[in-house]
Structure 1
Amino acid sequence: MLRKLVDNEFTNAATFYIVSLFLLIISPPLLLFKIIYNFLVSFRPTDANMRGKVVLITGASSGIGECLAYEYAKREALLVIVARREQLLQKVAEKARGIGSPDVLVICGDVSDFNDCRRFIDEAINHFGRLDHLVNNAGIGSIFMVNEGIDITKFAPVMDINFWGSIYPSHFAIPHLKKTNGTIIVNASTAAYFNLPRSGFYSASKSAVTSFYESLRAELGPEIKITIVTLGYVESEMTLGKQMSKEGEMKHNQEIKDLVFECFPVMSTEPCAKAIVKGACRGDRWITEPQFMRPFIAFNFFFPELVQWHFKKFYLGKWIAATKAAHK
């Protein structure tokens, strides 16, 4: 029995080292191939013909979602724009029609409500008869430390909107997207990788999004394409300081804007939306904007301790210093 146990341990160890050696040998050429392939793919022409195709965008009343509507309108797509603020949606719809969209359906809806999601997908199908692109863009932010004495139950909407607010529409849209070999575009975040201090709830919601849609890609491909968008700081209501407050309400917080978002370069909304639509029409699996975030994601993968030290030392340190100064 002891001899058999020793033999098994030896076999397992030998297998581990053989597989490790094999991976070390093939990894460099595979990495080089991927870099070259991605470079060449970036020059591949996009499927610019969106005329007559139907695109549903959530969170379309402002920010990235609004600009995504305009980019699709330029391609003469039929639009379904969804958000909770109907008056703003009507303004977006009017401008999108002027840009080139033949028809825009405005639906006031809450992505965190299961039945609401069923309703607006059904309305889109009843109106247009098809669905080609589902853009899960709606999201909210929260910037707090867990030990700041907050009621963490107030932050359930972060997961409800950022995670379930993408899952629910996708669930109801999948049967229709299968008929058109359509695409699901989901707005994730580089926060899923960097895990900034004070962004635990937000980062967790975006990590859940990326994990879920990678699994869904394996389940649905190639019938439905999935494009996961990982964004850094992009101009929006969120980067202007609109965050979830300690009371669980969405409010403008100038202090957060000054201490957080002014520490990092913020990309303009229009070029970001243009890159997302271009990549989605091209069938990209991943889109990262601003593009300079890509090497930082790779660096974080290999040296997470160094990145975490940097954030704790400079980002969190600046916040703590500012907080102390404010209370003197």
Structure 2
Amino acid sequence: MSGAFGGQVVLITGASSGIGAELARQCAAAGARVALAARDADALARVAEECRTHGGEALVVPTDVTVEAQCRAMVDRTVAHFGRLDMLVNNAGMSMSARFDEISDLSIFERLLRLNVLGSIWSTAFALPHLKQTRGRIVAISSLAGLTGVPKRSAYCASKHAMAGFFDALRVELRDSGVSVTVVYPGFVRSEINRRALAADGTPFGERAYLRQPREALETAACARQILRAAAGRKRDLIMTVQGKVGRILKWLTPGLVDRLAFNATASRQ
């Protein structure tokens, strides 16, 4: 992997914690120069220092990707500092947990679509001219919820399905450009995203029992390693778990069975 990223410039959104922070650390260890974007400047500074201890150069770029102008400024500052851009990782995101008929704050949908979808689209739009120059890589962190419906995650599923559709279309458009597009579909990962998920009233879900991560949840470091291997190989997509791969096939063959499995799995975690 060091051969793929050594000396390259990698811009990661949502880099203050979880998968994004771990991707930054592993990229730095592989010799990449990393630009770290998120809203929490103090958390970014801590991650940047960890990247430097791994031997990498790190730039902190406080950014709210729900604001188009800030996405442009994020890319501009990265290129101004490093002189180029080789990979964009669209990782910033938020989840939710509530039955649709119980949601009292419908702004949840706008908030998730703006962060998970528009934030990725805007970041990609401003990064693309630079990535074409370097024949670079785009990585989009979606979810298994972007492949099939998951109860109590309607807004999250909507955003991740939209994200997958956009990047699938973009991949085809960029076929002859030298820029690769890799869409990642993680399952359960031990990450801070669940604690920040929104409840029916639009407030963070916190540590409520429903969202406790299952035993089979993937560790963040292992998740990041898989993502970077897929990006290095310019893979079309990455489904991390056997269950996810089998579920994708079953949805084509017996969609009703997949619905029942999703319902039962959700019920068992309540």
Indicate the TM-score class for this superposition, using the shorter chain for normalisation: over 0.9
- Output the CA distance in 2 between the equivalents of 1:317 and 1:266: 17
**1:223-250 deviation digits (Å, cap 9, x = unpaired):** 21101101111110124x3311333233
- Output the CA distance in 2 between the equivalents of 1:73 and 1:195: 36
1:236 counterpart letter in structure 2: S
Residue 150 of structure 2 is aligned to residue 196 of structure 1: yes
Residue 18 of structure 2 is aligned to residue 94 of structure 1: no
- Output the CA distance in 1 between the equivalents of 2:52 and 2:267: 48
Partner of 1:290: 241
Residue 112 of structure 2 is aligned to residue 112 of structure 1: no
Residue 82 of structure 2 is aligned to residue 128 of structure 1: yes
What secondary structure sits across from 1:252 in the alignment?
Answer: coil
Residue 6 of structure 2 is aligned to residue 55 of structure 1: no
RMSD: 1.7
- Output the CA distance in 2 between the equivalents of 1:119 and 1:68: 22
Partner of 1:68: 23
Greater helix fraction, Structure 1 or Structure 2: 1
Q: 1:91 to 1:123 in 2, by over 3 A?
A: same
Q: Of the two structures, which has the highest relative contact order with CA contacts closer than 8 Å and spacing of 6 or more?
A: 2
Partner of 2:176: 222
Can you give the 5+ residue segments of structure 1 that lack an aligned partner in the other structure? Answer: 1-45, 323-328
Partner of 2:123: 169
Q: In 2, are the aligned partners of 1:131 and 1:176 still within 8 Å (CA)?
A: yes
- Output the CA distance in 1 between the equivalents of 2:146 and 2:128: 25
Count of residues paired in the alignment: 269
TM-score, normalising length from structure 1? 0.78
Partner of 2:257: 306
Percent identical among aligned pairs is: 33
Partner of 1:85: 40
Partner of 1:315: 265
**1:192-247 deviation digits (Å, cap 9, x = unpaired):** 222111111101100001111111011112321101101111110124x3311333
Q: In 1, are the aligned partners of 2:247 and 2:258 still within 8 Å (CA)?
A: no
Q: In 2, are the aligned partners of 1:117 and 1:172 still within 8 Å (CA)?
A: yes
Partner of 2:221: 270
TM-score, normalising length from structure 2? 0.94
What secondary structure sits across from 1:55 in the alignment?
Answer: strand
